[in-house]
Amino acid sequence: MANPRPPYVLLERVVFFGGRELPDGTWKDAAGIVIGWSRARLLSRREAMEAMEPHPFLADPPQVSSLRMMSPTPAHAQQLGSIRDGDIASTHKGIVVIYAGFYRPGCSDDLGGCYLLYDAPTNALTAIPPLPDSPRFPTLLHLGRTAVLVDDSRSADDYILADIVTNSGLGLPEATIFAWSSLTMKKSGGEWVKSSIPRLPLPAHLCGPKHLFQIDLAFSLDSGRICWVDLLQGILFCDRILAPDGPKLGFIPLPTGYCIDVHHRLRHQMMPLARRSMACVSGAVKFVALVGLEDIHCPPNEVMLKTWVLSPDFKEWKEDSRSLSVEEMWASESFKQMGLPCVVPVSPVLSLTQDGVMYTILNVIEQVPAQVDEFGIVVVDDDLVPIANYMIRFDIRRNKVLSSTKISQHGELQWLIPNLIATDFTAYLQDHQRAEEAGKVGASAKGKRKQMEYY
């Protein structure tokens, strides 16, 4: 039987918003009262977001988990308008940070959306307003998937939501860091605190015009350090985000020889997350790369799997395990025993708790060639036909497939695009559940003592 509360999961980044319709065609509101359109109340953006009901669907890796948001009423669904989904920017402990709708820093306010925080232990949603900017003529320019949470050193139970942007006119290396404190939100409703950074500590060639530092993923460490990661270039790290004299910033490039320069307008074609990833694993920052996957001249069997670990002082990378070729992976006894297809793995994701273990996808795709007529004119374009998709849990150091699963009943093309994040927010569901159970046991014991004293 699957663990209903796995300690960590592989979570789809896309969060779909939807309604809950009853068999008779009516809907229920959050209180369970059947209502109709005529009784709808106009909600603010924040109220509409926070009124949704989170529904996590959890599975033990290598199976994939997902998160859904349900509208309690049809009127609520109508007020959400075009906001039909969200994108998970990052997770921290028991909280998932979501860009709701089309929102990204610098987007027009007409598109709606905001930051949406899902607190898994309490199953609650908190909507945080967009960064302060001109609603019609935005001046902020987002740098990627940048929103991240970090612990608030002033209070053990509070957090700071941080985001980093540049100016649409000046551009890099000029930047602005915004911070939103949950502690301040409790006291006075909350506000964005702005820190202007005249010059980020980035290599000059990553500040334009051809190449730009762009953030693929973000996470924070227990020390309070924020890591904004460009998987083609390196880590921009930030300490003391609310310090009176401003945040402290630094930069560490990727291991020597593994930075890739690509024009910023073509960068999306590289799909960095399809070939690289980074995470904090048991307190250490680790980097994994499928080297050669970006080279069209590299034979599939010669693609190399490499991992590195970053020193605690953020100054040096060292190899974390021996390099392993895809051909060696295919030739392993475990790979053969499971009957897995000999295709190049993509979208590597590091395990958060097991050193040397990663998850990766094997896509079996058939390429159907174009059809031409007798005059050489293409009458049917070439096509990609999905056959099967597998997720494997792989021990890099032992060259061993630990487990595998088919992640779709029939082949799907969606798994060609990286869309997963490893998160341990489910561990905090366990902690919350244990605390609740302990409270119930304590209350029961206290009741029994009172009963005994009464009699």
In percent, the amount of the chain with pLDDT more than 70 equals 85
**CB of 152 within 8 A of CB of 226?**
no
> Could you tell me the pLDDT band of residue 37, with boundaries at 50, 70 and 90?
very low
Q: What is the mean pLDDT of residues 435-444?
A: 44
Q: Are residues 297 and 160 in the same domain?
A: no
Q: Among residues 270, 289, 316, which one ends one of the domains?
A: 270
- Number of separate domains in the chain: 3
Domain range for residue 75? 1-138+425-455
> Could you tell me the pLDDT band of residue 31, with boundaries at 50, 70 and 90?
very low
| Tens of pLDDT, residues 105-142 | 877 666 678 999 999 999 999 999 999 987 777 889 99
Per the model's pLDDT, the better-predicted residue between 313 and 379 turns out to be 313
Q: Are residues 300 and 265 in the same domain?
A: no
What are the structure tokens assigned to 65, written together?
A: 């988990």
Q: Coil, strand or helix: which one is 148?
A: strand
The string of DSSP letters for 231-268 reads TTTEEEEEE-TT-TT--EEEEEEPSTT------TTTHH
Q: How far is the CA of 400 from the CAs of 149, 332, 342, in angstroms?
A: 35, 7, 15
Query: Which of 50-59, 73-82, 300-309 bottoms out in mean pLDDT, i.e. has the lowest?
Result: 73-82
Sequence-separated (6 or more) residues with CB below 8 Å from residue 150: 92, 159, 160, 162, 220, 224, 225, 226, 241
Q: Are residues 19 and 90 in the same domain?
A: yes
Q: Are residues 414 and 436 in the same domain?
A: no
Q: Are residues 395 and 326 in the same domain?
A: yes
Q: Among residues 270, 305, 327, which one ends one of the domains?
A: 270
Q: How far apart, in whole angstroms, are the C-alpha atoms of residue 327 and residue 302?
A: 7
Query: Which of 46-60, 377-391, 436-450 bottoms out in mean pLDDT, i.e. has the lowest?
Result: 436-450
What are the structure tokens assigned to 103, written together?
A: 């929102």
| Tens of pLDDT, residues 248-281 | 999 999 999 999 999 999 999 999 999 999 999 9
Q: How far apart, in whole angstroms, are the C-alpha atoms of residue 273 and residue 159?
A: 27
Neighbours of 1 (CB within 10 A): 3
Q: Among residues 238, 270, 302, which one ends one of the domains?
A: 270
Q: Are residues 157 and 297 in the same domain?
A: no
Which run of H or of E encompasses 74? Answer: helix 74-80
Q: Are residues 455 and 407 in the same domain?
A: no
Per the model's pLDDT, the better-predicted residue between 7 and 43 turns out to be 7
pTM of the model: 0.88
| Residue-level pLDDT at 20 | 57
Q: Are residues 314 and 178 in the same domain?
A: no
